[in-house]
Structure 1
């Protein structure tokens, strides 16, 4: 794919040659008014040579463009100053400088394309000031001359066009990248569906038919089938794809931990948070669900709710297990078992949030994790 600014550079070089023709015609019409017409033709020749050189350098981009644009400013300033060498004060104070305002606009255009509106306006103000100094027109009537308004307008317009082209090109690249990612993930999803999911479904069905130890294998296969189907569903959703932005969808990340014994509810719209925050909250959930598996008792189910409320992210993790006796967490920490204190409380505190545990024997366990959506 070509660079976003390539069409603007090409158009600017065409404009550069057109303005050269105008400058030569202006030279022919004004030559009789010059005090040194031969020297004036020398400067016009320099103008023509630089027009060709700059056009080639800006098109081929063999050297950094900023160097060419900087040189463009110097050449225009030098040619403007040369007006005093070929004309009398009475003439140049009431006429355009030697390279003509139209040809000098090329330097403003180049700066605007490369640096945006700020660069274009800065170049325009500089060249307008040089023109006023060369022509001894630095006074309160400066803006009655068309030079400054024309140059500033061109710098602003081309700078805005340059920024728009860059944004449009960036969006097009993102769309192409997203389409390629989606297509690849669709292909992988079909392969997984045709292979792994069918095998898991067969194992689950036959295991339940056989019973006994095979029934346990069937339950495990069923859990993996549900988790894999959920993962494929998430990957197929284009709004969930991480395209390199600073934020990811927390809901998509948490749903990947769902299973036949874990129900996860999240908003339909993406809950976008910075990736490090999302990773830490996913790790908190993983630890909490592991504790449910290890300590909540056989057959316990877990329910996870994700909410985006008033600038805070709330993750509620509840199970219907046997619960935790009062003081048991403190005893576990004293015994060196740091799962809750480090993996849950430590992570939440690092994110500037709070983790509240509500549990008792026979009532199950519930965690409410609350962290700021925007980290400082």
Structure 2
């Protein structure tokens, strides 16, 4: 039984989704730990507790949403970013004013970067730039003044998310190119297999009909001429090229005579595809053997 090649496609970005899921869980635990270590200094700790309860449930419940690009939908990304922005904006209400002024962490802390990275992995650097810009505006509003550490963190998230988004786009383009190359390779192997089968059966029959028709003469010669034309067309089709226009003489008395074709000389001395130069000379009596052809 003949074996057929099967092209298997593997997403190069799938490890990024697994890493993002782990990052979201770890940073959620980290943000809760920061609050637990400094909860005595919060002006309204109950507000922070309520937010972290929502954040914990949301993070764990949406883990399937960050499992793949198909599952990560636009509504989820919008809601996820809204959770992060809400946590940033309510930080001055929950935390003490002095801690906010001194540059204390926001409620979601570095969990916010996970939301921005989801935009980057899903939509590339343009989506990442949009999400990181919204986070930057929220951080500036929360702080009140563009302090140096705030600007530093904003620029860091902005540059990192755009860089990751760009890498994802390049990886996707490379994946498509590789998949296309594998498909072409599989198709070439299948064509070569078919070419061998056809060479052992149909082409030999057509060649025999052509020769016998030329020997018998009369109407058999016309049949032989037609068989020769079909042999040439079939060889060209199997080899992967276009079927050339018939160059056999319309005069049945001459049999399958190939007409001469004038070819223009190339304008430069660069590389020339010999197949295009030799193909006009192929016919019912002349066979053209090329790479991958029978």
Please give the range of the TM-score, normalised by the shorter of the 2 chains. Answer: 0.7 to 0.9
Which string of whole-angstrom CA distances, capped at 9 and with x for unpartnered residues, describes residues 93-152 of structure 1?
22121111x1110111011111101111211111011011011124xx557632212211
Contact 1:293 1:300 in 2 (8 A): no
Q: Does 1:76 align with 2:84?
A: yes
Alignment of 1:203-242 (within 5 A): 203-233=209-239, 235=240
The aligned residue for residue 99 of structure 1 is 108
Secondary structure in 2 matching 1:303:
coil
| Residue 306 of structure 1: how far off its partner (Å) | 7.7
Larger strand percent: 1
> Would you say the 8 A contact 2:20–2:66 is kept in 1?
no
Counterparts of 1:304 and 1:89, CA distance in 2: 89
Query: Quick one: distance in 2 between partners of 1:68 and 1:306?
Result: 61
Shift of 1:213: 3.8
SS for the counterpart of 1:137 is coil
Within 5 Å, give how 1:10-21 maps onto structure 2: 10-21=18-29
- Partner Cα separation in structure 2 for residue 60 and residue 153 of structure 1: 23
Could you say if the C-alpha distance between residues 21 and 144 of structure 1 is closer, same or farther in structure 2, counting changes exceeding 3 Å? closer
- Partner of 1:122 in structure 2? 130
Name the counterpart of 1:164: 170
Query: What is the CA–CA distance in structure 2 between the aligned matches of 1:260 and 1:29, rounded to whole Å?
Result: 88
1:45 alignment partner, one of 53, 58, 82: 53
Distance in 2 between residues matched to 1:142 and 1:86, nearest whole Å: 23
Please provide the CA RMSD for this pair: 3.1
2:35 to 24, 27, 45: 27
Question: Would the alpha carbon gap of residues 61 and 232 (structure 1) be closer, same or farther in structure 2, given more than 3 Å must change?
Answer: closer
Displacement of 1:260 in angstroms is 5.8
Compared CA separation, residues 221 and 31, structure 1 to 2 (3 A) = same
Stretches of structure 1 lacking an aligned partner (at least 5 in a row): 236-251, 262-291, 311-376
Cα pair 1:92 1:135 within 8 Å, conserved: yes
- Residue 309 of structure 1 deviates from its aligned partner by 7.7
1:307 to partner: Cα distance: 8.7
What is the DSSP-based 3-state SS (H/G/I as helix, E as strand, rest coil) of the residue aligned with 1:99?
coil
SS at match of 2:43: coil
The 5 Å alignment of 1:174-189 reads 174-189=180-195
In the alignment, the residues of structure 2 paired with residue 13 and residue 63 of structure 1 have an alpha-carbon distance, to the nearest angstrom, of 13
Tell me the matched-pair count. 258
Higher relative contact order (CA 8 A, sep 6+): 2
For the residue of structure 2 that corresponds to 1:69, the secondary structure is helix
Q: State the secondary structure of the residue aligned to 2:201.
A: helix
2:97 maps to 1:89: yes
Correspondence list, 1:246-265, <5 A: 252-253=241-242, 256-259=243-246, 261=248
- Provide, for residues 6-50 of structure 1, a one-character-per-residue CA deviation record: whole Å limited to 9, x for no partner: 321111011111212221221122222211223322222222112
CA shift for structure 1 position 161 = 2.2
2:288 aligned with 1:301, yes or no?
Answer: no
Q: What is the rounded CA distance, in whole Å, between the counterparts of 1:193 and 1:50 in structure 2?
A: 64
Structure 1 CA distance for aligned equivalents of residues 89 and 22 of structure 2: 25
Give the Å deviation of 1:60.
7.0
Task: Report if aligned partners of 1:224, 1:259 keep a CA contact under 8 Å in 2.
Answer: no
The answer on 1:65 being equivalent to 2:73 is yes
TM-score by length of 1: 0.61
The unaligned stretches of length 5 or more in structure 2 are 1-8, 269-294
Call closer, same or farther: CA 1:64–1:14 in 2, change over 3 Å. Answer: closer
